[in-house]
């Protein structure tokens, strides 16, 4: 029965890997649990796979590649379109599972699924384009053009914070370009990934074209990166892990696309609408419990409005309601695990030792149902200096810091001091100030009068500096990750022409 096996034991559903068109367990027989971070309940068990399972999946993908790459791109795209249609029909079911598996509130989970739907439709449309281009030859009676060609087996490694959107950013374009895929989802969110892959099977994707292997990164992820038949690796996750994988791929001569950390900043100028800015910043800082690579973790506010904005933010933050994301009254769900909660709290303690002023929050949320889950109170620090660790390092939780600036130039300089460069924003009514910020901020994404989150699938997504390695997801630019350019010359002159040599 697809990815489900009733032999999990203890009344728990047991799910299976998908390899070569078959749903199978780990060869070791080992399993791991998926746990609801709001309640501590076990949602199901999945294979705790090892290198031998990766080997089987890569072999299946390699075996399917030659036939899949020869399927015309518009036909490949039709299958992807059918996957998007199935996502529409199962949006609520998948969103509820996402909330249970990683904690974000249901409205956000619906948005995550919708992003996968949008990406499916967008990339399916590219199947009738996959544009190359023609150019005039420098020789007579000679044609010149270029086209895209697939690469082979792609290894895809994704995080838990957007467990459907981010896999869709990678899997859809990899497949439409004619590659085959081995997918390693995050250990915290395997059930949703398996459900996603089921939709491809239902839509008629041939066996072996998409395979999924669940397990931890140190075994499954590393084996996938090291496999000699994997030509491309697409990774989203921590900077530390991404740089390690890039080093491994560099030694092996493999292409790797990295989407890593962020320390995103919003600038608030004196002429900004502070009521609107407060709404946007609360959403940007504490949506998904701050567990977004684009979350606003630094607010750089002009000295003239720092006090008022701080008071507004603190009042709104204290009013946020924590709880199970399935409950309609919940504003902020749990963080993904107690391990992540402890990491967040360590940074809060570091901030206090560094001399930052704790405005609100700063501890594990307790009381009633909150005691069962991994809930952390939304936290604001004030009087934060650029050299502090909480101003420089990615916390990946519901923690935001306030930093003061005396001018736009100073604010932009603080933004750019970060080693990351994913997303930034500015709140102002001055179009001149906004345009100068757009020009001078060194990030891959800039928003005006909005928070630092909210990307759309038809624009490139990614950042500068240690956020990534120059590749982009989303937009037509993502096709460059999963395809190779092939230049074609057709000489119909009937004689030897030697290009640059035959010049006067």
Q: Which of 413, 308, 403 is nearest to 351 (CA)?
A: 403
Is 259 an annotated catalytic residue?
A: yes
In the structure encoding, which two tokens stand for residue 429, read together?
């009514």
Q: Which of 101, 201, 249, 293 is catalytic?
A: 293
In the structure encoding, which two tokens stand for residue 29, read together?
């027989």
Rounded (to 5) percent helix, strand, coil in the chain: 40, 20, 40
| Residue 371, C-beta contacts closer than 8 angstroms, at least 6 positions apart | none
State how far the Cα of 267 lies from the Cα of 426, in Å rounded to an integer: 5
State how far the Cα of 156 lies from the Cα of 154, in Å rounded to an integer: 6
State how far the Cα of 199 lies from the Cα of 209, in Å rounded to an integer: 13
Any idea which residue has 């950390």 for tokens?
Answer: 261
Q: What's the CA angle centered on 246, arms 173 and 28, to 5 degrees?
A: 80
355 DSSP β-pair partners: none
Q: Which of 259, 394, 404, 473 is catalytic?
A: 259
| Residue 472, C-beta contacts closer than 8 angstroms, at least 6 positions apart | 444, 460, 461, 462, 478, 480, 481
| 3-class SS letters over 199-236 | HHHHCCCCCCCEEECCCCHHHHHHHHHHCCCEEEEEEE
Query: Any idea which residues carry the catalytic annotation?
Result: 259, 293
């Amino acid at each position: 029965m697809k990815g489900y096996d009733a032999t999990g034991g203890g009344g728990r559903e047991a799910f299976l890997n998908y390899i070569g068109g078959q749903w199978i367990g780990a060869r070791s027989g080992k399993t791991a649990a998926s746990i609801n971070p709001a309640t501590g309940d076990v949602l199901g068990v999945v294979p705790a796979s090892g290198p031998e399972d990766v080997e089987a999946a890569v072999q299946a993908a390699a075996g399917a590649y030659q036939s899949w790459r020869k399927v015309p791109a518009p036909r490949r795209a039709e299958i992807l379109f059918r996957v998007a249609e199935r996502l529409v029909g199962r949006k609520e079911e998948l969103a509820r599972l996402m909330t249970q598996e990683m904690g974000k509130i249901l409205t956000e989970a619906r948005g995550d699924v919708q992003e996968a739907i949008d990406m499916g439709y967008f990339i399916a449309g590219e199947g009738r384009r996959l544009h190359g281009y023609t150019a005039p030859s420098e020789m007579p009676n000679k044609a010149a053009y270029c086209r895209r060609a697939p690469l082979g087996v792609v290894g895809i490694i994704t995080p838990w914070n957007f467990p459907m959107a981010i896999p869709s950013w990678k899997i859809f374009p990899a497949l439409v370009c004619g590659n085959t895929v081995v997918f390693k989802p995050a250990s915290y969110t395997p059930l949703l990934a398996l459900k996603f892959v089921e939709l491809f099977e239902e839509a008629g994707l041939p066996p072996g074209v998409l395979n999924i292997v669940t397990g931890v990164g140190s075994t499954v992820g590393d084996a996938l990166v090291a496999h000699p038949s994997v030509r491309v690796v697409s990774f989203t996750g921590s900077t530390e892990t991404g740089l390690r994988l890039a080093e491994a791929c560099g030694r092996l001569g493999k292409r790797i696309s990295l989407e890593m950390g962020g320390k995103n900043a919003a600038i608030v100028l004196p002429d900004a609408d502070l009521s609107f800015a407060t709404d946007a910043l609360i959403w940007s800082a504490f949506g998904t419990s701050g567990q977004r690579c684009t979350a606003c973790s630094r607010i750089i506010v002009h000295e003239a409005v720092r006090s008022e904005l701080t008071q507004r933010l603190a009042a709104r933050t204290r009013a946020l309601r924590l709880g199970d994301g399935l409950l309609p009254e919940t504003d902020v769900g749990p963080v993904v695990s107690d391990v992540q909660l402890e990491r967040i709290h360590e940074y809060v303690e570091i901030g206090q030792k560094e001399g930052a002023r704790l405005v609100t929050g700063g501890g594990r949320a307790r009381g009633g149902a909150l005691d069962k889950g991994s809930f952390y109170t939304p936290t604001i620090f004030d009087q934060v200096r650029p050299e502090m660790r909480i101003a420089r390092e990615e916390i990946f939780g519901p923690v935001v810091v306030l930093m003061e600036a005396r001018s736009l130039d100073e604010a932009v300089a603080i933004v750019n001091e970060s080693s990351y460069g994913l997303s930034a924003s500015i709140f102002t009514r001055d179009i001149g100030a906004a345009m100068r910020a757009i020009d001078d901020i060194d990030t891959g994404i800039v928003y005006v009068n909005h928070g630092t989150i909210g990307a759309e699938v038809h624009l490139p997504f990614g950042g500068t500096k240690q956020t990534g390695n120059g590749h982009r997801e989303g937009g037509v630019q993502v096709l460059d990750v999963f395809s190779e350019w092939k230049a074609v010359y057709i000489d119909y002159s009937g004689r030897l022409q030697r290009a640059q040599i035959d010049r006067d």
